[in-house]
Amino acid sequence: MKTLSPVEKARRYFEAHEHDADGNIKKKGGPCITISRETGTGADRIGEKLIEYFAQFEQEFTLFDKNLIDKILEDNSLPHKLTEYFPEDKSPALRTTMNELLGLQPPMMKLLHKAAKSIYSLALMGNVILVGRASNIITAKLPNCFHIRLVAPHHERVQNMQHYYNMSPKEALEFVDKEDKARSKYVEANYNANANDPNAYHMVVNVSLFSIEEAAEIIGNAVVMKYPARFVAKEYV
Residue 217 predicted with pLDDT over 50: yes
Q: What is the pLDDT of residue 24?
A: 58
* 57: helix, strand or coil: coil
Residue 142 included in any domain: yes
Query: For the segment 107-166, what is each residue's pLDDT rounded down to a tens digit?
Result: 667 777 877 888 898 899 899 999 988 999 999 999 999 999 999 999 999 999 999 899
Query: Based on the structure, what is the number of domains in the chain?
Result: 1
Question: Rg of the chain's alpha carbons, rounded to an integer?
Answer: 18
215, burial (CB in 10 Å: exposed 0-12, middle 13-18, buried 19+): buried
Distance of CA 63 to the CA centre of its chain: 8
Instruction: Determine the structural domain holding residue 205 and report its residue range.
Output: 6-236
Angle 106-123-4 (CA atoms, 0-180°, nearest 5)?
Answer: 85
Question: How far, in Å, CA of 53 to CA of 67, rounded?
Answer: 21
φ/ψ of residue 58, rounded to 5: 55, 40
Residue 179 included in any domain: yes
234 DSSP 8-state letter: G
* 206: helix, strand or coil: strand
Residue 58 predicted with pLDDT over 70: yes
Residue 123 included in any domain: yes
Residue 197 predicted with pLDDT over 90: yes
Q: How confident is the model at residue 237 (pLDDT cuts 50, 70, 90)?
A: very low
Residue 1 included in any domain: no
Query: For the segment 60-95, what is each residue's pLDDT rounded down to a tens digit?
Result: 899 988 666 666 666 665 566 556 655 665 554 444
Nearest to 145 by CA among 64, 233, 31, 50: 31
Nearest to 39 by CA among 181, 169, 134: 181
pTM reported for the whole predicted model = 0.79
Q: Which CATH number does the domain housing residue 230 bear?
A: 3.40.50.300
| Strand residues in the chain grouped as ranges (E) | 32-37, 62-64, 128-131, 145-151, 203-206
Nearest to 164 by CA among 67, 50, 63, 40: 40
